[in-house]
Amino acid sequence: MKLDLVAITPPAFDVDVQLAYATDANLTGRPVYRNAKCWLHPAAAEKLTAAIELAKPLGFRLRIFDALRPVEAQWALWNARPDPEFLADPRRGSPHSRGVAVDLTLLDPDGQALDMGTAFDAFTPLSHHGRTDVAPIAQRNRLLLMGLMTTAGWDFYRNEWWHYQLFEARRFPLVCDADLPRPMMSL
């Protein structure tokens, strides 16, 4: 299948890409992506550009932890931790596996990640949006990120402060590793 995907790389996109699943510092304890690339569907890339432009005059940049996640990678995460509160069941398909979701945070002008109250992929109720039992600065930072992302046209997932996706994500087809211009799961 011929995919129309956009590579999310500087300088075309003024973002800091640090794909968590390309390292062993993730819930599986090992790299999930062997050939880490940050891809998005063109419709999602357009909305990412809008979020970048909204953050820039405020002195912020975006750090991307994950974007397109091939179906095989979703299975690897699910097999390591089958928790439907934080991971989409791969039998139903994830918005990430459609190229229309992004996991991210905000960086200050010095390139430091803002305090969001929990780490990325902290599978705990403290990661949910709207928590008042995280520090007030973390609440403010989460709301700032949500404001930027929703103004740019993204929907949010209530259980993860870091996850944003396009509305009606299921209308986009699932993407397997073999569908990519260069597979991510093998070298």
- pLDDT tens by residue, 16-62: 999 999 999 999 999 999 999 999 999 999 999 999 999 999 999 99
102 within a domain of the structure (yes/no): yes
With 0-12 CB in 10 A as exposed, 13-18 as middle and 19+ as buried, what is 94? buried
pLDDT at 8 over 60: yes
**This model's pTM is above 0.75:** yes
Beta strands per DSSP E along 25-94: 39-40, 61-66
| Residue 187 located in a structural domain | no
Residue pair 105/65 in contact (Cβ under 8 Å)? The answer is yes
pLDDT bucket at 187, cuts 50 / 70 / 90: low
Domain count, the chain: 1
Residue 186: pLDDT over 90? no
Q: To the nearest whole percent, how much of the chain has pLDDT over 70?
A: 98
Separation between Cα atoms, residue 35 and residue 186, nearest integer Å? 6
pLDDT band, residue 1 (cuts 50/70/90): low
Write the pLDDT tens digit of every residue in 54-86.
Answer: 999 999 999 999 999 999 999 999 999 999 999
Collapse the DSSP code of 78 into the 3-class scheme (helix H, G, I; strand E, B; otherwise coil) and give the result: helix
**pLDDT, tens digit, for every residue of 155-175?**
999 999 999 999 999 999 999
Is 49 part of a structural domain of the chain?
yes
Could you tell me the pLDDT band of residue 3, with boundaries at 50, 70 and 90? confident
Q: What is the mean pLDDT of the chain?
A: 96
Residue 87 lies in a domain: yes
**Is residue 160 flagged as an active site residue?**
yes
What CATH number does residue 122 fall under? 3.30.1380.10
In a domain, 185, yes or no: no
Catalytic residue among 46, 53, 160, 168: 160
Domain residues for 125? 6-179
Position 126 in a domain: yes
- Cα torsion 33, 65, 39, 13 to 10°: value is -140
